[in-house]
Structure 1
Amino acid sequence: MSGEFERTQRIAIIGGGPGGYEAALSGVQLGAEVTLVERAGVGGSAVITDVVPSKTLIATADAAKAISEASDLGVQFFARNSDGKPSRPEVAINLAAVNKRLLSLARQQSEDMRQTLLDAGVRIISGHGRLEGPGAVVVSTGPHGTDFDRVEADTLVISVGASPRELPSAKPDGERILTWTQLYDMPTLPEHLIVVGSGVTGAEFASAYMNLGAKVTLVSSRDQVLPGEDADAAAVLEKVFRRGGMTLLSKARADSVVRDGDGDGVVVTLADGRRIEGSHCLMAVGSIPNTAGLGLEEAGVQMTSSGNIRVNRVSRTSVPNIYAAGDCTTFVPLASVASMQGRTAVFHAMGDIVIPIERRRIAANIFTAPEIATVGWSEQDILDGKIEGVVHKLPLAANPRAKMMGITDGFVKLMARRGSGTVLGGVIVGPKASELIYPIAVAVDRRLSVDQLSRAFAVYPSLTSSITDLARSMHIVDRGPDLDEA
């Protein structure tokens, strides 16, 4: 009879991005009373200003690239002059129309997510939330922060995301010096876009605007683009960038970015004194968590010096009833990871079955052209002796379907444990690598061997057959270290 007197568990979530959204749905699924506090809109920056609009822009760039390369497959585009003779038309990008579409898609996605939460029974409060100790959230809801709402909760989930990092010597103005959230206000394609930062964000936007037809200069402080990623993948991307006309400046640190004299362009000054002039500059130099002023320290939540919330593998903070998810945490900053963290946090808080998140099982993708997808242990991990394994690589150009599609760049790479042949990780560089990585991610998650992976039927012809072909070539790995070395 004691169950009749048990109170429904109350969950309060600050931030409606992927982590907060999934936490809210998981909470109502398990019978909790859920309140979501969101300042900008459901979906957060991932949907409104980051992932959804940027990947929509990239999809447009991919379409433009496909049209420009169609002649290689025998597809030719012609128009007729007034004299009836054919002339080859130019591919034109209406950036204002592109931006209007991608922002509309972002708003629609946000509204769809909001409606899903409301239909599920989630209470949504629009405003800025702040912790009041470990058991309540105070929300400023008025137009000037004058009205307040107070939400008491048994479990708190913080999923406030992150914002573009700004440098004092390169202050974004929203017109010529831009963060990645401000790109969508440009009415026309930039004449010369200088991208400062060659990490994932910088590489993705540099790739997209190059394929849209802009002149692009990529400034990298490291000796290759995508530092920390697979070296072979970075080399392929650099080759594609240079072939497309992009200027790559490696080991070049930007000291300052300012508007030029007449204000119609920008000047980027490098540490070695070089000056680069362009029409616009995108600052892609990392992000900072949106954790300031949330009352986290006062509630006892441990954080890093950079403001990221320390969490364990079930998304729990140093305070037992407070969890955190997404880019504001110390975990991998991916939307898919934020979603998993949100679900894991609520499942753990409510006593449901939880499988702690493992970094090595997370699949990630870089949406350049070609795409770069990775999962599991890397080749560098093996070279550094962190794990014993072997590495095999197969060029995508050898694949029959790739030949039919005119694909010349990219590869499939597998890492497997020496002796047992257990798949440790993989890298795919090529079109739709984000889709192709999934079977390797399953193999890593389920600890399949290369033999087991190779025995799954792949359609012929298909790009996925490169995965089974590569796994088949590693069959000897299963025979033991002596035969493998032989």
Structure 2
Amino acid sequence: MRICIVGGGPAGYESALVAAQLGAQVTVIDRDGLGGACVLTDCVPSKTLIATSDRVSALRDAPRVGVGTGEVHVDLRAANARIKALAQQQSDDIRARLLTEGVTVLHGSGRFAAQQGGRGHRLEVVAADGAVTETVEADVVLLATGGTPRVLPDAVPDGQRILSWRDVYDLDQAPSHLIVIGSGVTGAEFASGYSEAGVPVTLVSSRDRVLPGEDPDAAAVIEQVFTTRGGTLVKQARASAVKVVGDGVVVELLDGRTVEGSHALMCVGSVPNVEGLGLEHAGVALDEHGYIAVDRVSRTNVPSIYAAGDCTGTLLLASVAGMQGRIAVWHAMGEAVAPLRLKTVAANIFTHPEIATVGIGYKAIASGEVPARTVTLPLATNARAKMRGLQDGFIKLYCRPATGAVIGGVIVAPDASELIFPVTLAVQKGLTVTDLAGTIGVYPSLMGSVAEAARRLMSHDDLD
């Protein structure tokens, strides 16, 4: 079977590896570098930047545990050089792995040719100057083209003062006052990261709190830590324009207020990369929001054409993109496959502290839509947290009232992305709070609070 994959991000390269291992003839058409935006400009770089700010936070908080430190600062030029080098190294590693597995990698943009073949699909590889360099014939096509930062008409990034989240790694010096516009996951992460690194940050939120789609208790912790570090929140404020004035920027809000700073970082969402793919030539449909419409096995309305990752709008996570791509290949090649189950997907927000979630969300629990027993344990009561001087965060666990089956959880803590795993496993495998409580872990550990939360949720019914 000939499989052509358009896009070399997590959805693309993960599916290419699976297809090659199953014996397919695989071609990846990649424009920007293997690993895609996730590795080169988005996820990997931003989390590396946040890891740098975490070191600053650890030193700043060291007096809590009896360690004296001097003044700490971030050499942004050096930090950004390291970030870019790590991203390129990751991209090179992915390329080497694909080539080792026999995958053909073609450089350029991929699109469906105006004249399609008989039983298969014909794609063109287009160079930066618009010239068609190669043509690829395929039995199955996977579109994995990702997304691009959304641009407001009156706040177009210039790479100097008005920045997208892909521009920040070109800065030689830290902003003297960074204005982050957008309080979703991306905005909250960058606001937290730069604030922890010692940069004065103002976060502009169009809603009454940061992270409006997340657990409000978790969002409250992030707000409290952010403002304690010196950050400023401007709530219920929608930006209408950003103007460069002298050596700074002025952010104009719809209600007439203005916010002044040295740089503005636009974090107002993303749009799918679907333009120029020639979808009309293959008959591939978009949904009402402009994403490529797919079912739970990543199939479009055309049976032999699949799509995965951010271009589908399913759940904008690299882990989900990779699974969508693998599911697509398994399905296309006739392997047994389980449809994508979003309720078992763990997600993490890399703020300080981190927020990790899995399973049924807060809104469904709080509204009574999903009956549940719940418990929340402050992180500060955990013995290991006390030893480390950790004061902010909590462990929250949900279970079914009758059976004790774990249906979700929220962890707000340093390294919450690591701590959420046992809760994720419980949700995915249908384990009960008794199963968690009966598992002997390490003492002292932050993970011990997960077991303690499970013990507090146990009832006599769970023991039957």
Q: After TM superposition, give the deviation of residue 325 of structure 1 in Å.
A: 0.7
Alignment of 1:114-263 (within 5 A): 114-132=95-113, 133=116, 135-141=121-127, 144-260=129-245, 262=246
SS at 1:466 equivalent: helix
Q: After TM superposition, give the deviation of residue 307 of structure 1 in Å.
A: 2.2
Q: Which residue of the partner structure matches residue 338 of structure 2?
A: 355
**What is the TM-score with the length of structure 1 in the denominator?**
0.93
Structure 1: distance between partners of 2:106 and 2:343: 36
Which amino acid in 2 is paired with 1:475? M
Q: Which residue of the partner structure matches residue 45 of structure 2?
A: 53
SS at 1:195 equivalent: strand
Bigger radius of gyration among the two? 1
Structure 2: distance between partners of 1:424 and 1:204: 26
1:306-341 deviations in whole A, cap 9, x for unaligned? 321111111111110011110000310100000111
Q: After TM superposition, give the deviation of residue 277 of structure 1 in Å.
A: 0.7
Q: After TM superposition, give the deviation of residue 370 of structure 1 in Å.
A: 0.1
* 1:453 and 2:445 aligned: no
Q: Which residue of the partner structure matches residue 411 of structure 1?
A: 394
Q: Which residue of the partner structure matches residue 84 of structure 1?
A: none
Q: Residues 203 and 226 of structure 1 are in contact (CA less than 8 Å); yes or no, is this contact kept in structure 2?
A: yes
SS at 2:376 equivalent: strand
1:194-244 deviations in whole A, cap 9, x for unaligned? 000000000000001001111000000011100110111001111111111
Q: Residues 309 and 328 of structure 1 are in contact (CA less than 8 Å); yes or no, is this contact kept in structure 2?
A: yes
Q: After TM superposition, give the deviation of residue 479 of structure 1 in Å.
A: 4.9
Alignment of 1:314-353 (within 5 A): 314-353=297-336
* 1:107 and 2:88 aligned: yes
Structure 1: distance between partners of 2:59 and 2:370: 44
1:61-83 deviations in whole A, cap 9, x for unaligned? 00011011111111113xxxxxx
Q: Residues 308 and 330 of structure 1 are in contact (CA less than 8 Å); yes or no, is this contact kept in structure 2?
A: yes
Structure 2: distance between partners of 1:274 and 1:387: 41
Q: Which residue of the partner structure matches residue 65 of structure 2?
A: 73
Q: After TM superposition, give the deviation of residue 477 of structure 1 in Å.
A: 7.2
Q: After TM superposition, give the deviation of residue 293 of structure 1 in Å.
A: 1.2
Structure 2: distance between partners of 1:170 and 1:460: 51
Q: After TM superposition, give the deviation of residue 131 of structure 1 in Å.
A: 1.3
Structure 2 residue ranges without an equivalent (≥5): none
Q: Which residue of the partner structure matches residue 253 of structure 2?
A: 270
Q: Which residue of the partner structure matches residue 444 of structure 1?
A: 427
Structure 1: distance between partners of 2:302 and 2:440: 48
Q: Residues 379 and 391 of structure 1 are in contact (CA less than 8 Å); yes or no, is this contact kept in structure 2?
A: no
1:20-52 deviations in whole A, cap 9, x for unaligned? 001100001100000000000100000000011
SS at 1:414 equivalent: strand
Structure 1: distance between partners of 2:462 and 2:348: 32
From 367, 376, 379, the equivalent of 1:393 is 376
From 471, 477, 482, the equivalent of 2:454 is 471
Q: Which residue of the partner structure matches residue 38 of structure 1?
A: 30
Distance 1:195 1:477, change over 3 A: farther
Structure 1: distance between partners of 2:432 and 2:296: 26
From 4, 18, 21, the equivalent of 1:12 is 4
Structure 1: distance between partners of 2:462 and 2:450: 20
Distance 1:153 1:477, change over 3 A: farther
Q: Quote the sequence identity (%).
A: 54
Q: Residues 267 and 275 of structure 1 are in contact (CA less than 8 Å); yes or no, is this contact kept in structure 2?
A: yes
Q: After TM superposition, give the deviation of residue 391 of structure 1 in Å.
A: 1.5
Q: After TM superposition, give the deviation of residue 298 of structure 1 in Å.
A: 3.0
Structure 1: distance between partners of 2:313 and 2:111: 20
Which amino acid in 1 is paired with 2:126? S
Structure 1: distance between partners of 2:151 and 2:410: 32
Which amino acid in 1 is paired with 2:328? A
Q: Which residue of the partner structure matches residue 86 of structure 1?
A: none
Q: Which residue of the partner structure matches residue 54 of structure 2?
A: 62
Q: Which residue of the partner structure matches residue 366 of structure 1?
A: 349
Alignment of 1:280-319 (within 5 A): 280-319=263-302
Q: Residues 29 and 109 of structure 2 are in contact (CA less than 8 Å); yes or no, is this contact kept in structure 1?
A: yes
SS at 1:357 equivalent: coil
1:169-217 deviations in whole A, cap 9, x for unaligned? 1111110000000011111010000000000000000001001111000
1:416-449 deviations in whole A, cap 9, x for unaligned? 1111111010000000000000000000000111
SS at 2:77 equivalent: helix
Structure 1: distance between partners of 2:430 and 2:280: 40
Q: Residues 124 and 132 of structure 2 are in contact (CA less than 8 Å); yes or no, is this contact kept in structure 1?
A: no
